[in-house]
Structure 1
Amino acid sequence: MDVEGEAARVLADLRAQGDPMRAENEKRYLKSDFVHFGVPVPALRKVAVSAVKAQPTRDELVALAETLWGVTQEGHPVHEARMAAVEVLVKRAALLGPGDVGLAERFVRDSASWVYVDGIAEKVVGRLVVRYPDLGAALDAWVNDPYMWIRRTAVLALLPGVRVGNPDLVRIDRFGDVLIGEREFFIRKALGWVLRELSKKDPGWVTEWVEARAAVISGVTLREAVRRLPAEDAGRLLAAQRR
């Protein structure tokens, strides 16, 4: 793969599909100071995935992602280029190995929005943790990290295990207790999402966990956690928090 050439092609295709009005609306919605072209997500994903349609090597994949991530225009990162970097990693996540959790961490630390973090957290880090369970030790460190987006990554990286039927209940329990007093909305929401997803497969565990913490769990987390629970259990948990 000609990494530089492929990155330039992706960038040119994205720029050609941009919509200035959409770009302005997107910048406002994301509270972003990045450069935005205004490309809809499905179109952006199609362009990005085309870059790795032919099977790249792991080194080519990482080099392409790093090149796209580093694109700037007038001194500012380009939103669509960063999104494309995430998409190529997600598409070929099977090529990545345990050491690539460092690349994911670096991208998250260089992020300031859920729009980049969530795909990395769930579909890159989370998939790596499913394949290499020892990487859970990285999540143990991240859940106490001062940077909010790293903490969110630690939580959302538990989702793939839940979805494949192998939930890490020990970490869900422990991370939940670590983060239950969080003031950050994005952490509260992430914890709720993990509990909601787990409730589809193990509603009893979620009900018991939430009920024991009804006095301290945030409303944001609770509302997500009970969304898929049986109506009777959800109603009892909501009422317990109100009391």
Structure 2
Amino acid sequence: MNFIYSLEKAFNESADAVNAEAMSKYMKNNFPFFGIKTNERRFIFKKICLENQKETAENSREIALSLYSKKERELHYCALEILIKNLKKKYLKEDIKFIEKLIITHSWWDSVDVIAKFILGEYLLEFPLERGNVISRFSNSDNMWLNRSAILFQLSYKGKTDFDLLKTLCEKHGTSNEFFIQKSIGWALREYSKVNPIAVKNFVSISDLKNLSKREALKNL
């Protein structure tokens, strides 16, 4: 695909070994980087998207999967940005398999959180009848990143948040020793506290959550 070839070429030309080492270290050396900082990466990405608009619009899923199969983390970020831009209100019911694959592939907080909020969350707004089955399956999974995604998928819902569901998920995983689960619980509750602070305060006061989750939940209250 011309888009992927052009993107990789541009990223290779802009690569910075010093930045790459620092960025990889920040991500616990889980991924190699070209070493392109966010603003520059997005500038290059936007330019090449405009030059290949038809290709990216018509082949979003295929391009995203191809980019996600590569090793450099910046390409994974671009894959997610393509999906967010091109699939909103155009998801297919069967896309949940695709979304799950993204969550469990090259999993780390920086990708999983974007997928949970902007892709899984949007998908479940478009297919609300799928929510029960999907969230039940994700929250019961042995994969911690699917658990985290189930907790975080309502981050952008604001007043549309199903607080009863959120409380159930928080209680279900509330005693987890996983740092990323404790943080996700606190984050999800903190975000909902912008809509209903009293409800969050009351829930935290009677819940058996870990201290980290409680601190994160009440940080802005």
Q: TM-score, normalised by structure 2?
A: 0.91
Amino acid in structure 1 at the alignment position of 2:130: L
- Report Cα offsets for 1:87-138 as digits up to 9, x if no partner: 2112223132332121111011112311211111111111111222123120
What residue is the counterpart of 1:6 in the other structure?
A: 3
**Partner Cα distance (1:131, 1:205) in 2:** 27
Q: TM-score, normalised by structure 1?
A: 0.83
Preserved CA contact (<8 Å) 1:122 1:159: yes
2:142 aligned residue (120, 127, 146): 146
Describe the shift of the 1:128–1:80 C-alpha distance in structure 2 as closer, same or farther (beyond 3 A).
same
Gaps of 5+ in 1: 72-76, 230-243
**Partner Cα distance (1:50, 1:118) in 2:** 25
What residue is the counterpart of 1:204 in the other structure?
A: 198
What residue is the counterpart of 1:175 in the other structure?
A: 169
**Partner Cα distance (1:194, 1:33) in 2:** 25
Displacement of 1:48 in angstroms is 3.1
Preserved CA contact (<8 Å) 1:148 1:187: yes
Instruction: Calculate the aligned-residue CA RMSD, in Å.
Output: 1.8
Displacement of 1:32 in angstroms is 2.3
**Partner Cα distance (1:87, 1:61) in 2:** 10
What residue is the counterpart of 1:219 in the other structure?
A: 211
Amino acid in structure 2 at the alignment position of 1:25: A
What residue is the counterpart of 2:20 in the other structure?
A: 23
Describe the shift of the 1:96–1:209 C-alpha distance in structure 2 as closer, same or farther (beyond 3 A).
same
Preserved CA contact (<8 Å) 1:90 1:119: no
**Partner Cα distance (2:128, 2:170) in 1:** 19
2:103 aligned residue (91, 100, 108): 108
1:80 aligned residue (74, 86, 90): 74
What residue is the counterpart of 2:157 in the other structure?
A: 161
- Report Cα offsets for 1:70-89 as digits up to 9, x if no partner: 12xxxxx1211112111211
State how many pairs are aligned.
217
**Partner Cα distance (2:189, 2:196) in 1:** 10
Preserved CA contact (<8 Å) 2:17 2:35: yes
**Partner Cα distance (2:137, 2:200) in 1:** 24
Amino acid in structure 2 at the alignment position of 1:28: K
Gaps of 5+ in 2: none
Displacement of 1:57 in angstroms is 7.2
**Partner Cα distance (1:226, 1:70) in 2:** 39
Preserved CA contact (<8 Å) 2:56 2:63: no
* Identical columns (%): 25
Displacement of 1:33 in angstroms is 4.2
Q: Which structure has the larger Rg over C-alpha atoms?
A: 1
Preserved CA contact (<8 Å) 2:171 2:209: no
Displacement of 1:52 in angstroms is 4.3
Amino acid in structure 2 at the alignment position of 1:212: I
Describe the shift of the 1:96–1:49 C-alpha distance in structure 2 as closer, same or farther (beyond 3 A).
farther
2:86 aligned residue (89, 92, 115): 92
**Partner Cα distance (2:143, 2:183) in 1:** 16
